[in-house]
Amino acid sequence: MKYEVIKVLEEEKFRRLTGVKRSRFEKMIKILNKADKCQQGKGGRKPRLCLEERLLMALEYLREYRTYFPVSQSDGVSESACYETIKWIENTLIKHPDFALPGRKALLKSDREYELVLIDATETPIERPKKKQKQFYSGKKKRTTLKTQVIVDKKSKVAICTTFTNGKRHDFRLFKESGVRIHPEIKTITDTGYQGLGKIHSNSALPKKKTKKNPLTKEDKRNNRKLSSQRVLNENVIDMIKRFKIVSDRYRNRRKRFGLRFNLIAAIYNMEIRQMRVSEEI
């Protein structure tokens, strides 16, 4: 059994292999165990693998993003059973409150839980669609992509909310269509792709763009570097989420589940960050 070998690994090796720390893995098992008992109470065939093995299979798929066939063969189950198991685990975890992102409503609360948020967009390559290819073609990446907008709290480093669209959509247009509205007292920092954000949210800062008639002054360059040093945190958060290759490599699956998987991985990242902060405080 895979789990019998993996569970004795050192903490860091366990995280490198599964993408999550041991405590997060055990938390997932508790959530899945409750859902599994409810499912078995309804009858049906008993799963061939234990719960730990099934969770490892799902994490392996998200982490390495191999096709279902080699993953199923390494676990000794059929390809269809592998697909159904991974789908059930994803659906079960994303419905639990512990795996929910704070959401867009958190940005409008008057208690000012967030003082400074960072907004950025990232792209994930996808298989070329059979229809409406132009809508997904990204001039930046020179290929068909899905675009994800991620809003991160600067202080806690937590991903607050996400929005998804096709790769052709401009960053600022994505923000306008996402329905995200931010409390006036919360400051935002973005890149130059969000020109015009100040008309919607006055408390925003973004780098000044250079033009032929208006070159950047030394003060402008200094301010741009300062904003860039603050905004890099958002890029680091995205990089941490993209440790799971399913959201960084070319996405082969149906696009309708991409958002669910990205949010699930972002929630796993949030849990890791919160646990690190608690450990530091102790």
Q: What is the pLDDT of residues 43-87, one digit of tens each?
A: 777 888 999 999 999 999 999 999 999 999 988 999 999 999 999
Residue 243's pLDDT is what?
93
Nearest CA to 175 among 162, 184, 187, 189? 162
SS3 137: strand
Q: What is the pLDDT of residues 79-122, one digit of tens each?
A: 999 999 999 999 999 999 999 999 999 999 877 789 999 999 99
* Burial class for 174, CB neighbours closer than 10 Å (0-12, 13-18, 19+): buried
Q: What is the pLDDT of residues 1-35, one digit of tens each?
A: 688 888 889 999 999 999 999 999 999 999 999 99
Q: Which pTM value belongs to this model? A: 0.92
What is the residue type of 196? Answer: G
Given the structure tokens 């867009």, which residue do they identify?
104
What is the residue type of 44? Answer: G
Record the tokens describing residue 247, joined without a space. 């959201």
CA–centroid distance for 43 within its chain: 35
SS3 35: helix
Angle ∠(63,64,70) on CA atoms, nearest 5: 130
Q: How many helices (H) and strands (E) does the chain have?
A: 11, 6
Residue 201's pLDDT is what?
92
Record the tokens describing residue 136, joined without a space. 């997904």
Residue 39's pLDDT is what?
80
CB 178 within 8 A of CB 118: no
Task: Using pLDDT thresholds of 50, 70 and 90, give the confidence band for residue 140.
Answer: confident
CB 190 within 8 A of CB 117: no
Q: What is the pLDDT of residues 252-261, one digit of tens each?
A: 999 999 999 9
pLDDT greater than 80 at residue 212: yes
Q: Which residues contact 95 (CB under 8 A, 6 or more apart)?
A: none
* Burial class for 104, CB neighbours closer than 10 Å (0-12, 13-18, 19+): middle
**Mean pLDDT (whole number) for 231-238:** 93
Residue 196, phi-psi category: left (phi > 0), alpha (psi -120 to 50), beta (remainder): left
Cα–Cα distance, 134 to 138 (Å, whole number): 8
Residue 233's pLDDT is what?
93
Task: Using pLDDT thresholds of 50, 70 and 90, give the confidence band for residue 223.
Answer: very high
Q: What is the pLDDT of residues 150-195, one digit of tens each?
A: 999 999 999 999 999 999 999 999 999 999 999 999 999 999 999 9
Residue 281's pLDDT is what?
62
Residue 244's pLDDT is what?
95
Given the structure tokens 């789990």, which residue do they identify?
3
